[in-house]
Amino acid sequence: MSKLTRLTVLGSTGSIGKSTLDVVARHPDRYRIVALTAQQQDELLFEQCQRFRPRFAVLLDEAASERLRIRIAAAGLEVEVLCGAAALERVATLPEVDAVMAAIVGAAGMPPTLAAAHAGKKILLANKETLVLAGHLFMEAVHHSGSALLPIDSEHNAIFQALPRNYAGDMKQGGVSKILLTASGGPFRNTPLEELRNVTPEQACAHPNWSMGRKISVDSASMMNKGLEVIEAHWLFNAPADAIQVVVHPQSVIHSMVQYVDGSVLAQLGNPDMRTPIAYALAYPERIDAGVAPLDLFAVAKLDFVAPDFQRFPCLSLAYHALRAGGTTPALLNAANEVAVAAFLDRRIAFLDIPRLIEVVLGKVARKEVNELQDVLDADAAARIAAQEWVAR
Ligand code: NAD
Ligand code: MG
């Protein structure tokens, strides 16, 4: 019998957060929830508190936390309600916590995830923005504190599974020649280019294979999600940009592959359901039931692969550019993209304005070296101001 893992779930009300709790609920003997957090969804967080009885519940929003406090008291639950960004870091670093699911969306997820790394927690990393913004600082913290780092992003989880056990970030030593990062191509893979001009947030969020939060759904439609994942793969596996190849695979059955120098290619397959990578990371190196239906290969019948179209998806080129430029450029790219996606979801800019806005910001805000966290935070803030100006122009 393996020992109990005590868990903090950052972003428990989101798509990844809910899938995490679904897996946890299947294994009450293995996992105990210490803390749950959300931005402002106090009703759902209350339901989760009733079900999982955490010690702490954190809301970013003050009014929402007040509402939650009242409901918790009325229900007689022994849950301490905290509020604000500092509380996220607190519950990510509590001595009684073994593992942290980092599932907040966007740059806001970076500080508590970095704090968990400094505290040596096992980190289940869904928040790819942490690596895009502060990959070097985060990986350094992980190595320094001895944290175990398990990728949740389905592609990176697949790569992790296909790499040699105990891969230590040395492709040559591992006999690895390439990381093959698969991409569905999103809802607009075959949409005529002139129609892309007028696509709506609803169309962009209607992903053909995956059900996800709205931000990452738009990123999948622009393929910025894949661009951010290229940067994520660079930091996780110490792979140079040239060794990371995006492969469009519309069925989303192969979640990514590793190519070896002897000609072997190892792939991880499964139904597109995030509970598989979540369960893998939770139980690693063991395997547990995730509630996911077995893959029916006869129903899948065929697997297609095509090269990515960089003309159609300029966000992908912008992300490769940012990775190669290094320094604060990936942080600028990410911040500009977050502002652009929010503005698109608010119908303030068009879908094709997303890469335009990012280019403007990268041209306007100067790249700097990253020596400390403040450099990243400054770049993030400067890019947001420049991006907001463009949206409001
Ligand atoms: P989501 O929008 O469904 O949920 C986000 C969660 O973060 C919610 O609990 C929300 O309350 C919280 N949150 C949002 N803004 C916050 C803020 N400023 N401060 C504190 N908490 C905040 O997002 P999601 O789709 O679950 O994605 C979460 C992360 O996982 C993202 O980084 C995404 O890129 C990554 N990811 C998601 C999927 C997926 O299938 N959804 C797959 C791979 C990676
Ligand atoms: Mg992914």
Closest-CA residue, ligand 1 atom 5, reads 14
Percent over 90 (pLDDT), the chain:
98
Inter-CA distances, 285 with 82, 113, 237, 266, Å: 33, 22, 18, 18
Angle CA 383–388–389, to nearest 5: 100
3-class state of residue 8 by DSSP? strand
Q: How far apart are CA 131 and CA 8, in angstroms?
A: 20
**Residue 332 near ligand 1, beta carbon < 6 Å:** no
pLDDT tens-place string over residues 220-249: 999 999 999 999 999 999 999 999 999 999
How remote is the CA of residue 157 from the centroid of ligand 2, in Å?
Answer: 9
How remote is the CA of residue 229 from the centroid of ligand 2, in Å?
Answer: 7
Q: Which atom of ligand 1 is nearest to the CA of 228?
A: 34
Instruction: Please check whether residue 189 is in contact with residue 250, taking contact to mean a CB–CB distance below 8 angstroms.
Output: yes
Judging by DSSP bridges, how do beta strands 254-260 and 176-183 pair with one another?
antiparallel
Closest-CA residue, ligand 1 atom 32, reads 127
Q: Give the mean model confidence (pLDDT) for residues 122-141.
A: 98
**Residue 376 near ligand 1, beta carbon < 6 Å:** no
* pLDDT reported for residue 129: 96
Q: Which of 372, 268, 368, 352 is nearest to 311 (CA)?
A: 352
What pLDDT band is residue 2 in, cutting at 50, 70 and 90? Answer: low
Inter-CA distances, 183 with 38, 132, 201, 238, Å: 29, 18, 20, 20
**Taking ligand 2, which is a single-atom ion, which protein residues have CB atoms under 5 Å away?**
153-155
pLDDT tens-place string over residues 265-303: 999 999 999 999 999 999 999 999 999 999 999 999 999
Domains of the chain: 5-151 (3.40.50.720)
What contacts 332, CB < 8 A, 6 or more positions away? 322, 361, 362, 365, 367, 379, 380, 382, 383
**Helices in the chain by DSSP H: which ranges?**
15-25, 42-52, 62-75, 85-93, 110-118, 129-145, 154-162, 171-174, 193-196, 201-205, 214-222, 224-237, 275-283, 297-300, 314-325, 329-345, 353-364, 373-391
* pLDDT reported for residue 211: 87
What contacts 1, CB < 8 A, 6 or more positions away? 29
- Mean pLDDT of the chain, nearest integer: 97
pLDDT tens-place string over residues 308-360: 999 999 999 999 999 999 999 999 999 999 999 999 999 999 999 999 999 99
Which stretch of 106-115, 154-163, 203-212, 272-281 has the lowest confidence by average pLDDT?
203-212
Instruction: Please check whether residue 284 is in contact with residue 341, taking contact to mean a CB–CB distance below 8 angstroms.
Output: no
**Residue 39 near ligand 1, beta carbon < 6 Å:** yes
What pLDDT band is residue 210 in, cutting at 50, 70 and 90? Answer: confident
The values of phi and psi at residue 336, to 5°, are -60, -40
How remote is the CA of residue 128 from the centroid of ligand 1, in Å?
Answer: 10
**Residue 204 near ligand 1, beta carbon < 6 Å:** no
* pLDDT reported for residue 50: 98
**Residue 210 near ligand 1, beta carbon < 6 Å:** yes
Q: Dig out the tokens for 310 from the structure.
A: 């960089």
How remote is the CA of residue 73 from the centroid of ligand 2, in Å?
Answer: 39
pLDDT tens-place string over residues 133-188: 999 999 999 999 999 999 999 999 999 999 999 899 999 999 999 999 999 999 99
What contacts 32, CB < 8 A, 6 or more positions away? 4, 5, 6, 7
Q: Which atom of ligand 1 is nearest to the CA of 216?
A: 34
The label of the residue with tokens 């692969």 reads 305
* Amino acid found at 123: I
Percent over 70 (pLDDT), the chain:
99
Q: To test ligand 1's pocket by mutation, which of 105, 226, 231, 292 has the most ligand atoms within 8 angstroms of CB?
A: 105
Q: Note the Cα 38 to chain centre separation in Å.
A: 16
How remote is the CA of residue 15 from the centroid of ligand 1, in Å?
Answer: 7
**Residue 60 near ligand 1, beta carbon < 6 Å:** yes
